[in-house]
Amino acid sequence: MEKITFENGVKLIYKKAENNLTSFTIGFNAGANREENNDLGMAHVVEHMLFKGTASRTEYQINKLCDETFGFCNAMTNYPYAVYYGTTLDEDFEKGFEIYSDIILNPTFPVEGFKEEIDVISAELKEWKDDSSQFCEDSMLYNGFNKRRIKNLIIGTEESIRSITIDRIKNFYHKNYTSGNCVVSIISSMSFKSVSDIVEKYLCNFNNKLFNLKHHIEGAQEYIYENNNPGTYFEYRDDLQGAKIQYCFPIHDLNDREISALKLFSIVFGEGTSSILYDEIRTKRGLVYDISSKIKNETGIKLFTITLGTSYENVNKTIEIINNQIEEVKKIKGYFDGSCLLKLCKSYKLRRMLALEKSIQTSMSLCVYEIMYGDGFGIFSEFKAMENIKEAEIMKVVNSVLVNPTIQILMPKNSAVNIK
């Protein structure tokens, strides 16, 4: 694995592969976290508009070339980042990288087709809300926080999307799509020298406005978080038969070691079919089809969550059991001994490596870890930090995190349930 920074500030992370495929990601700290208050959805609109045409290519030409060159390609906007990624044959890597470099470096942001693209994004917003699990999570974040960006969807609101102008798009682009704010990650069987020469060839003339990535990382660490609004919140929809429930607990005050301790606990508590929550609520009582806990440690998010679906008749009972299990796990003693911790570390490593099995996923993870934490290779070294964690550290984190949750319940209309 190699990592270099070019003169204009672009960072390149490289990992050797053993096949004849090359996967690459070009990423920026240009996600929804970078938006101003009146620009909800701006980062996502910019991502869309980059594909509308360049100084030398129309939108159709871009789409045709992407179909011809890539086995897979896409782009994505999250709260902490925007990434552009794809996989080609080694022999087509330069062509693919040139296409994406042109898209990112030379957008024209045409007025023609702009209204239609906003219509597309508005339709995407409606489709996003059709997913009941996603809708429940979005409602939880909206009700659970007052000021944080995650209170509102990455895609924005219908009103905010419709208010976006070409000039504001250009302003966001020029402010955030700078060479010093750019990370490129590549997984390839080609040599490091070959891929670095190609990256330098197409990105060396990228503007040299050195928007210091270190500043972005520090800014991310200084991101203004807030504690959640504890309590139980309800949303009702007439297209549902069952109910969705989500819990969230803020974890923005935890340091890296404490996050590692929480990861080990989460495996026991809510990940897998032998976890405490699954065993108590699914296996023993048959109240849910699936239930899980998850750590969302991305910049600007920083949450521990519990997610499940059940029948609306069982909402009261299910929440009561979850709350009881939360209180019970805070009292655990002697469970996380050396043997247990060794198994948990191995389990976490296996799951992480399976998630990185696809080269495009590894490429994306390298890129976003570098953007968020300044250490792309941390995806391979985080296991080391877990090996000497003690039970006392885990229990301290558990007792500090699992308090005062925001609980969101999504119910069918006309179903009356009283939650104590």
Query: Phi and psi at residue 37, in whole multiples of 5°?
Result: -60, -35
Task: Give me the pLDDT at residue 346, please.
Answer: 87
Q: Say what percent of the chain tops pLDDT 70.
A: 95
Task: Give me the pLDDT at residue 30, please.
Answer: 94
Q: How confident is the model at residue 215 (pLDDT cuts 50, 70, 90)?
A: very low
Q: Is 81 helix (H, G, I), strand (E, B) or coil?
A: coil
Closest CA to 249 of 345, 330, 367, 339: 330
- How far is it, in rounded angstroms, from Cα 142 to Cα 225? 14
Q: How confident is the model at residue 418 (pLDDT cuts 50, 70, 90)?
A: low
Task: Give me the pLDDT at residue 87, please.
Answer: 96
Comparing 13 with 7, the larger pLDDT belongs to 13
Strand partners for 295: 304
Mean pLDDT of 299-319: 94
Task: Give me the pLDDT at residue 129, please.
Answer: 80
Task: Give me the pLDDT at residue 25, please.
Answer: 97
Which letter does DSSP use for residue 204 in this model?
T
Which letter does DSSP use for residue 152 in this model?
S
pLDDT greater than 80 at residue 214: no
pLDDT greater than 80 at residue 416: no
Task: Give me the pLDDT at residue 419, please.
Answer: 52
- How far is it, in rounded angstroms, from Cα 180 to Cα 211? 5
Tell me the CA distances in angstroms from 178 to 5, 45, 305, one per residue in order: 14, 17, 34
pLDDT greater than 50 at residue 93: yes
Handedness of CA 66, 210, 218, 348 (dihedral sign): positive
Bridge-based pairing of strands 406-412 and 231-237 is parallel
Task: Give me the pLDDT at residue 115, please.
Answer: 92
- How far is it, in rounded angstroms, from Cα 132 to Cα 309? 10
Task: Give me the pLDDT at residue 378, please.
Answer: 84
Spell out the residues 6+ positions from residue 132 whose beta carbon is closer than 8 angstroms to its own.
237, 239, 240, 244, 410
Task: Give me the pLDDT at residue 222, please.
Answer: 52
pLDDT greater than 70 at residue 22: yes
Are the CB atoms for 348 and 394 separated by under 8 Å? no
Comparing 129 with 307, the larger pLDDT belongs to 307
Q: Over the stretch 30-82, which tens digit does the pLDDT of each residue have?
A: 999 999 877 899 999 999 999 999 999 999 999 999 999 999 999 999 999 99
Task: Give me the pLDDT at residue 218, please.
Answer: 42
**Cα dihedral 403, 346, 18, 72 in deg (nearest 10):** -30
Q: Over the stretch 232-291, which tens digit does the pLDDT of each residue have?
A: 999 998 888 899 999 999 999 999 999 999 999 999 999 989 999 999 999 999 999 899
Q: Over the stretch 116-146, which tens digit does the pLDDT of each residue have?
A: 999 999 998 888 888 899 999 999 999 999 9
Q: What is the mean pLDDT of the chain?
A: 90
Closest CA to 163 of 324, 36, 293, 292: 36
Closest CA to 184 of 356, 381, 34, 366: 366
Query: Phi and psi at residue 282, in whole multiples of 5°?
Result: -90, -60
Are the CB atoms for 80 and 371 separated by under 8 Å? yes
Task: Give me the pLDDT at residue 144, please.
Answer: 97
Task: Give me the pLDDT at residue 206, please.
Answer: 74
Strand partners for 310: 243, 288
- How far is it, in rounded angstroms, from Cα 29 to Cα 370? 10
- How far is it, in rounded angstroms, from Cα 332 to Cα 312? 31
Mean pLDDT of 185-213: 82
Residue-range domains of the chain with CATH: 2-221 (3.30.830.10), 231-336+390-412 (3.30.830.10)
pLDDT greater than 80 at residue 198: yes
Residue given tokens 């938006």 in the structure block = 35
The percent helix, strand, coil of the chain (3-state, each to 5) is 50, 20, 30
Which letter does DSSP use for residue 401 in this model?
H
Task: Give me the pLDDT at residue 208, please.
Answer: 52
Q: Over the stretch 220-238, which tens digit does the pLDDT of each residue have?
A: 445 679 999 999 999 998 8
Mean pLDDT of 364-384: 88
- How far is it, in rounded angstroms, from Cα 273 to Cα 44? 36
